[in-house]
Amino acid sequence: MTIRVFVPAVPEFAALVQAASRKPSCKVSAPLPEYQVIESSEPLEFWRKELGLKPAVWYGLFTGGLTGRIEIFDRERVRIVPAD
C-alpha cells in the first residue's frame, strides 16, 4: 500500500513538503485546498534537523493524517513504511 502523508498547507509544516520534494521516490501534490499530499511506495525517512523543527512541532508531524506505519519515531528521526 502506498504511503500517503497529508500535510496541512501551513508554514510550520512547509519544510516537510520541501524535504519530500527533494526525494526521487516521493510524489507531492495538492489535491485538496487545505493539504499537500506526499506519496511514496517506498519507506520514507526524515530527520528533524533536516526539517529545522523544534521538538514540539516534530512530534506532531503527521497531524494532517498518515496512511502508513511508523516504524521509528524518536527525537531526531522518523521512518515510515507502507502499511501491511
Partner 1 sequence: MRLAGVDHTARPTWKLKETVEFYRDILGLPLVHTISARGWGPASHPDFLHFFFDSGKGSTIAFFYYLGSDAPEGLKDRRYARPAPDDHVFDATHTAWLVDTAEELRAWKERLAAAEVEVSVETTHEVIESIYFRDPNGYFIEITRKLRPLNRIDEVDAAATLQAAIELEEEASNAHVRITTIDMVWNRKARLLEARL
Least distance from partner 1 to the Cβ atom of residue 23, Å: 19
Which one, 18 or 34, has the nearer CB to partner 1?
34
Which one, 26 or 37, has the nearer CB to partner 1?
37
Please report, as residue ranges, which positions from 16 to 75 form the binding site for partner 1 (by CB under 8 A).
31-35, 37, 54, 56-57, 60, 62-67, 69-70
Q: Cα–Cα distance between 3 and 80 in angstroms, integer?
A: 8
Q: Which residues of 30-45 are buried (b: 16+ CB within 10 A; e: fewer)?
A: eeeeebbbbbbeeebe
Contact of 71 with 79, CB cutoff 8 Å: yes
Which residues here bind partner 1, judged by CB under 8 A? 4, 6, 8-12, 31-35, 37, 54, 56-57, 60, 62-67, 69-70, 83
